[in-house]
Structures are given as C-alpha cells and as structure tokens.
Structure 1
Amino acid sequence: MLTAQDDLIGHQTPAPFATSGAGDERFTERYWYTAHPINGSELLVDIGLGYYPNRHVMDGFAGVTIGRKQHNFRASRRLGTRPLDTSVGGLKIEIVEGMNLHRLTLADNPSGISFSLEFGASFPPAQEKQNYREREGIVEEDLARVSQFGRWRGWIAVDGKRFEVTPETWWGQRDRSWGLRSEMRTDETRPPVATHRNFFWTWSMFQFERSALSVFLKERAPGKPHYLSGTEFRREADGSISHREVTAFEHSIEWSDDQLGQTIAAADFTFKFDRGEPRHVRVVGLPTRFYLKAGMYGGLKGWTHGDDRGEQHAAHDVWDLDDAATRVTARTLSDHVVRLESGGEIGFGISEYGVAAGYPLYPAPQKFPAL
C-alpha cells in the first residue's frame, strides 16, 4: 500500500513505508519515556507508543502514579493512510530535534490524564548491543535499542490535579527500539502464558548531576551473563562528555518484605568498564512504581501490543497498588524509582528487574512471577 510518506526519502528496502522488516508481522518500533521528580514527591509518569507496520496498527499508553494509585490510559488505531503519524487516541509524540528535544502531549480524554511535556537530553544517546536470539534455528528477537537521559518541562493533569514540571526537579529517561521483538505473553486471560525459569535480569538507568549509567543484564548463573550492555557518561571539567562501555556487572540485592510481589529494597551494583576504575553504586528503592502491564506489556485482559482493536479504540482505569488482586494482574515488570549514591554523588533513576524460579541467588522473591 502506498502512502504520502512514500514521497519522502528514507526508504531502506524496495518496498513502501507501509511494509517493514521483510514483512515479518513481529517488526516493531517503540518509544518509551519516564519522568519523575527528585524532590521526594511520589510521582511517576510513563509514556509509550508502538508502531507495527505489518499489522497496520499503532498503539500507545500513558500513566501517572501518585502515591499508591496508578492512573492508566491506553489507545490503539489502524494505520490507514498515515502510518508515520506518531499519534493515537490524543497521545502524540513529536521529534522536534532528533536525539535532543522531544515533545509529548495527551489531549483531554475520559481517563482524566492530560499533559504537555518536553524531554530535553542531558547526555548523549547510547546504543545498546544488538539483542539477537535464536531458538531451534528460528530468530526469536533481533532488536536495536537506544537509551538516553534527560530533564523535563511542562505540565501534567490527572484526577483533577495539575503538576508543573521543571527541568530542575523533574529528571527522566527514554528509549527507542526497532526490529523483531518477541512477545512476553504474561496475560492469563489470553493463554498460552510463557513460563520463565532460572534467570535474573535488570534494565536500569541511573542519572546524576555530572554523570549517568545504563545497564541491561540477563543471566542464568550469577556472574555469567548471556547478555550485557551498558554505558557510563561523565561531564568533564571542560564541559566535554566522556563515555565508557560496561564490560562486567556485579549485583547484591536486598529484597523488600513485600507480600504482593518482587520489590528491591536496596542493592549494591558494581560496574566495570573497558578502561578506568570500577564504579560502585548504592541503590535504594523508593515507594513509587509504574507497572507496565497497564501499557499492555505482556498483554492485559486480552489486549497485547500490536493487536488490531479497530479504527480507534481506547481504555482507562485506576489501580490501587496495595490491592492484592490488582498486584496479581500487575505482576513484576515495572519502572521502579530509585535513589542512588556513588562516589559522593547523589542521583535518581529507574530500575526494571525480575528473578525467576531456579536462579541460585535471591530465593525469597521467586514465589512471584519474574515478569
């Protein structure tokens, strides 16, 4: 199918823009953002958008956690003749300046969530190592991902309250991914549900005033990662920004006595690099989290990323994060706000993580799902 975008340059294959990744329906492009204040306020904003050209679908979500309430918005549309218009259900992402300034807006809608926000980069982007996985000769995942730290400006309205957002107090991070993405399939209402055993993983982004660290670790045995990617950025005295690549990562985690799910109370992370001295980071889990099930990660009540829900579709709800039934639905995968200490610097960021049954360390949280 031809669209207006085919009059633009940028084609990567001898096919129209409406077809990507050799036509594989798993081909996906995603945006993801979080924003959180560093002044102790228990607030967290999560925003995401997915583009599935070979399924002819775009979907998105936005949510705000305030204390122990998580407010959620989800939307989906068919691509039609505007496949590259990054908007769905009133949610819109504009790339004002690539790798530097993005504008995100959500118009008034029945969820009660709306916002007008700008993400401004505080450090350069980092390209993670290619995430490639085969099983029995079939490519399960082949994904490129870019992550970046930033500061936020604008406003958020939710549940009749308005919050002003300034870069001095609102920090955050984003990622951008494209390629073949495997489905997690953790939606009990739409089996088969994937089972996960014998692994630990974390995807964490840590930001300080003068430096930033990102890491993505997957391992089945302690100290033996089958995937590790990470970058440190540092703002030098002359204003330049240096960077080092993570070559090894050690973790020691204290788990919270959370009766409803996996929760990090505190952790010691040690990063080793391609040059220079290692770096130790003390991580303390703060109360605020956004559970990504609300954005259809793994599927939610029969709705999975990329599903065709019709020309236009939207839904919303509010989760009580102290409710046992809600937490069963929410599972583990979340953006968990953390406070950081490292070499005299204080920082903040988010950590995603999970530990599955059979992994030799951390037996206590394994009674809950890892994703």
Structure 2
Amino acid sequence: MSTEFEDALVRRPDAGHQDRFFDRFMLNMHPADATAPSVITGLGHYPARNVVDGFVVVTTGAEQRNLRFSTELSATTGNGAGPLSFEVIEPNRCWRLRVADNPAGVAFDVVWTARTPYWLREVELGNNAGPPTKFEHLVQSGRYRGTLTLDGATQRVDGWYGQRDRSRGVRNMGGGQGLHLWCQAQFPDRSVGFLLVEDRAGERLMAEGAVLHEDGTVDDVVEVGHRLRFSDLDLIDGTVAVTTAAGRVYHLVADASAGGGFMAGAGYGGGHGQRRGRGYLDHEVYRLDGPVNPRTLDTSLTDRLCAFRWGTTRGTGILEFALTRSGSYRYRSTLD
C-alpha cells in the first residue's frame, strides 16, 4: 500500500480487477452547531462490472430525502453520474461537488477544502466464508464553502464541517459482526475519528483511527471503549472513550436525538455496484416520525448527525453505527 494516496478514482474496466473491486468516495456536510440539515453524498466506480453509482441523502428535522443513481462507467467521463459531478481540484486537498436539479429537490455547488492531514490504513477483516475483506481506507476533515438548495431555497454553507472518506479495494463482508462504529467528531482545532468492529460475542475485530489536528499532528487511536444507549437498534446517546498513542484520552459524549441518516436510503445493504443499465435514478422520502428505523430497512447502518461534548468543548459530527439484527446478539458496554 502506498503512503501517498492516489485521489483520482480508478475507472479502467480492463485492468484485471476482481468483480467486487470498488473505488469510491463519501463526504458528509453539516453545520458546525449540529443543527440540521445533514448532507451525505457519495459515488463509486466498479470497473469490472462497468458500473458507476452514487447517492445523496439529506436529513432535516422532519424527514430524510434519498436520491440514488447509476449508469454504465464506460458512458461517463469519470467525473460523476446522474446529477452528481465532482472535480479533484487538488489531490488530497480540495474537491468540488455539484448536484444539479433533480426530483428529490436537493441541489448544491460546494468546494471542500482539507483542514487536517489525511489518515490512511489498509483494512483487513476475516469473513465466515470466502476471502477476507481488504481495502485502503482514508479519512480527512475539512470545511466547505458554497451553496445548498432545498426546494428552491438557497443557503450558504461557508464554514460547515465535512469528513471525506475514500476507500478502494475488495469488500466481501460475510457476516458475523455484532457492533459497528465509525465516529468522526469535529471540534474547532481537530477531528477525533475511529473505526470499531466487534463480533456477536463482543470480541473486538478492529479498533483503529486517529485524532487529526489542524496543525498537522496525527495521533493514532490505540483503544476505544463505549457505553451507548439504544432504542431497539437505534442510537439514543452515549459515551465513547478514545485513547491515543500519545496517551491522551478523549471522553466524547454524543447526543444522537437528531434522527435520520439511515444509509439504506443511500443504497447500502446490497445496492452498490449492481448493474442497472444507463440513466437509472430513484428517490424517496423517509418521514422521521413514521415506521422507518434500523430494523425495518435493508440495513441497520446509520450515519447520525450528533452533537458531541469533550469536556467543556462542544463539537458536532457523524457517528455511524450498526447493530446486527441477529436474535442471539445483545449489546455490551465496554466502559464502567
């Protein structure tokens, strides 16, 4: 694995990639005060399948709007699909994202600029059957400038936080996971991030990440503990304790009451990389006071906009979580 990440997305269908090979990005965008809306967008190339697909998910105080699109990779110039286009202005430093008018009533034209270095690792997880999951994973914190339009009403997003997530490789998740947490807590001078995976017995499969500072410091995460409250499979609130290689311990208190962020609306749960021909587009709205929840959807994976508190410092960010729907699993706190 290279220590210098190649930011351009792989698109050659003749490069000998495995069928499950993917190269994709996801970026979130939200105000610094943890108020709605929360915007998550992403796009992926699947060269062996000649597929490119993407999504936009917007969560307001009352609803979640989902937009999904797909086409043949060979029918594109490699800079987008459907209403979403992107430009890597400066690799690993600056991206432009645009979403044109569409049936979901969501559009934006924004520039994301890094405020921290990136953190890059190779993720490898064993599976119950088949080869292991193995892919490069990069995260990096930044800020936005530009505009967001909902139903014709336009607002500036200057200064909003956003986490960039890039992944490239082969994902072959075969089951057996119990708890999944991906945390990106944004504070004025740093981002606290980690990926934690436990099996259904509560044993750790993975715990890694880093605290990324605006001054360029990268402090690797070496330990993660958690005490979370769920209503069925949906997160209410909780505390995570993040210990770094430098010996710092961050006790982060998260308020997840904002609701929404259900990633089934983005095509997670088996929808990514499927051949749908040219010009596919689908959309719907989840009412947050309705029956939609992590148990009723295709996947329980949720990217929740949370208010974070670290001592007296307040922050905001995304806490991604998923509990298995296996009846044999019970959540276990790892903090006293």
- Name the TM-score class by shorter chain: 0.7 to 0.9
Deviation, 1:134, is 4.8
243, 260, 265: which one aligns with 1:289: 260
Deviation, 1:224, is 3.9
TM-score (norm 1): 0.79
Find the residue that maps to 1:162 and give its secondary structure: strand
Answering whether residue 291 of structure 2 is matched by residue 324 of structure 1, we say: yes
Question: Structure 2: how far apart are the matches of 1:286 and 1:326?
Answer: 13
Contact 1:125 1:147 in 2 (8 A): yes
Superposed, 1:1-371 pairs within 5 Å as 17-20=12-15, 22-39=16-33, 41-80=35-74, 82=76, 85-135=78-128, 138-167=130-159, 170-182=160-172, 199-220=178-199, 224-235=203-214, 240-255=215-230, 258=231, 262-299=233-270, 304-324=271-291, 328-329=296-297, 331-356=299-324, 357=326, 358-362=328-332
Relative to structure 1, the CA distance from residue 183 to residue 120 in structure 2 (aligned partners, 3 Å threshold; closer, same or farther) is: same
Contact 1:285 1:336 in 2 (8 A): yes
Q: 5+ unaligned residues in a row in structure 1: which ranges?
A: 1-9, 11-15, 185-195, 364-371
Cα shift readout 1:174-225 (whole Å, capped 9, x = no counterpart): 20000001268xxxxxxxxxxx566222011111012211110111278741
| Matched letter for residue 309 of structure 1 | R
| Matched letter for residue 124 of structure 2 | N
Question: Structure 2: how far apart are the matches of 1:341 and 1:158?
Answer: 29
Q: Percent identity?
A: 26
Question: Structure 1: how far apart are the matches of 2:288 and 2:298?
Answer: 9
Question: Structure 2: how far apart are the matches of 1:144 and 1:41?
Answer: 32
Question: Structure 1: how far apart are the matches of 2:60 and 2:275?
Answer: 31
Q: 5+ unaligned residues in a row in structure 2: which ranges?
A: 1-5
TM-score (norm 2): 0.87
Count of equivalent residues = 321
Question: Structure 1: how far apart are the matches of 2:238 and 2:293?
Answer: 26
| Matched letter for residue 292 of structure 1 | M
Contact 2:66 2:283 in 1 (8 A): yes
Question: Structure 2: how far apart are the matches of 1:80 and 1:306?
Answer: 14
Question: Structure 2: how far apart are the matches of 1:205 and 1:331?
Answer: 21
Range with greater deviation from structure 2 (54-63 or 339-348): 339-348
